[in-house]
């Protein structure tokens, strides 16, 4: 994983802005998937549109990916560094803690290639592990 927020912006040819730097720092420190709300809590004043656009840009550029965890919340997690624009490589499982609701990437657990039934079109495949995280057990 890249060392700093600036490294990540440079790697993905993204212009440096205060909000982008701050949001990346929050992800780097969190070490878990974050929802829109989780990120908003770190800001005193930030309009939702700016944050929404920042996350959308990050996702498009391969900086963050959706961490599907089986809960209602949409969460994002930092990509491993192999992702680029329109080419995400985040085919790994996510662990969701039933207790605290934390979601983390399990990058060592790859999702095997799956075949959709004849006539069906696959748009995604997710693997979710549920249970209790280290902090809660
Ligand atoms: Zn990715
Ligand atoms: Zn937990
Ligand atoms: Zn992930």
Query: Per-residue pLDDT tens for 42-97?
Result: 998 888 999 999 999 999 999 999 999 999 899 999 998 889 997 898 999 999 99
pLDDT above 90: percentage of residues in the chain: 81
> What is the H or E stretch that residue 108 is in?
strand 103-110
Ligand nearest to the CA of 79: 1
Structural domains in the chain plus CATH codes: 5-131 (1.10.10.10)
Residue 3: is its pLDDT beyond 90?
Answer: no
Distance in Å, CA 102 to ligand 2 centroid: 6
Q: What is the value of pTM for the model shown?
A: 0.91
- 126 C-alpha vs ligand 3 centroid, how far in Å? 10
**3-state helix/strand/coil string of 40-67:** HCCCCCCCHHHHHHHHHHHHHHCCEEEC
Q: Give the number of the ligand closest to the Cα of residue 127.
A: 3
Q: Residue 51, exposed/middle/buried by CB under 10 A (0-12, 13-18, 19+)?
A: middle
Q: What are phi and psi of 39, to 5 degrees?
A: -75, -40
Ligand nearest to the CA of 109: 3
| Closest ligand relative to 67 C-alpha | 3
């Amino acid at each position: 994983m890249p060392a700093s927020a600036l490294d990540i912006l440079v790697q993905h040819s993204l212009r440096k802005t205060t909000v982008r730097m701050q949001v990346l720092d929050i992800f780097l420190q969190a070490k878990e998937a974050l929802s829109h709300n989780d990120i908003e809590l770190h800001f005193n004043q930030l309009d939702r549109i700016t944050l929404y656009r920042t996350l959308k840009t990050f996702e498009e550029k391969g900086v963050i990916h959706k961490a599907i965890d089986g809960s209602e919340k949409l969460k994002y997690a930092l990509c491993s560094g192999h992702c680029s624009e329109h080419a995400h490589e985040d085919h790994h499982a996510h662990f969701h803690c039933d207790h605290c609701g934390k979601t983390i990437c399990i990058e060592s657990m790859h999702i095997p290639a799956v075949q959709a039934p004849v006539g069906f079109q696959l748009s995604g495949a997710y693997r979710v592990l549920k249970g209790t995280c280290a902090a809660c057990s």
